[in-house]
Amino acid sequence: TAFAVECFVDELAHLAGEDPVAFRRKLLKDSPRHLGVLALAADKSGWSAPPPAGRFRGIAVHESFGSWVAQVAEISIEDGKQVRVHRVVCAVDCGMVVNPDTVAAQMESGIVYGLTAALKGRISLEKGRVKQSNFHDYPLLRMDEMPAIEVHIVPSTWFPGGVGEPGTPPIAPAVANA
């Protein structure tokens, strides 16, 4: 539901004439863990300053598997039609962290998976069968298409949450909101 909810929240912020981060802060005032990742992602991305010329930023926040994640995507539109993601800033509150490198790696891989689905994910059918059979004919995000990714972990004493999937849901709405 992250895509539908977070894109709708951005549309509401736009209609209200408010900054998307400030709008979310008001909506999430009673949810400290949402606010924590939102504030950290906004701060580390430089949200309060305008993006470089020709670039746009979007943000999304989502909770899943006992973890809270906010992501800021910085994009440009190449040739007037192709989305290029240049930078992703991810903030995660997954409770008590045992190995921060594992958390960062899982967030990065979730972002890659989510970007691949958002930017390239397409399954085609022919005579009722899926045409793609494996990675040789299903496009994946390539290294030269990868954005710079920063992962920031909210210090926490809560019980550990998941880090395998929570990095994926917020990336597509963050890109769409940009």
Q: What is the pLDDT of residues 123-157, one digit of tens each?
A: 899 999 999 888 888 888 899 999 999 999 999 99
Chain mean pLDDT for the chain = 96
- Which pLDDT belongs to residue 72? 98
What percent of the chain has pLDDT above 90?
89
What's the CA gap between 58 and 96, in Å, rounded? 28
40 touches 33 (CB < 8 A): no
Q: Which tokens belong to 115?
A: 């970007």
CA angle 104, 6, 91 (to 5 degrees): 20
- Which pLDDT belongs to residue 7? 98
Specify the range with the lowest mean pLDDT, choosing from 27-36, 121-130, 162-171.
121-130
- Which pLDDT belongs to residue 121? 86
How far, in Å, are 40, 68, 115 from residue 27 at the CA level?
Answer: 17, 15, 27
83 touches 77 (CB < 8 A): yes
Q: What is the pLDDT of residues 44-93, one digit of tens each?
A: 999 999 999 999 999 999 999 999 999 999 999 998 889 999 999 999 99
Mean pLDDT value of segment 83-112: 97
What's the CA gap between 110 and 115, in Å, rounded? 8
- Which pLDDT belongs to residue 166? 97
Q: Would the pLDDT of 9 be above 90?
A: yes
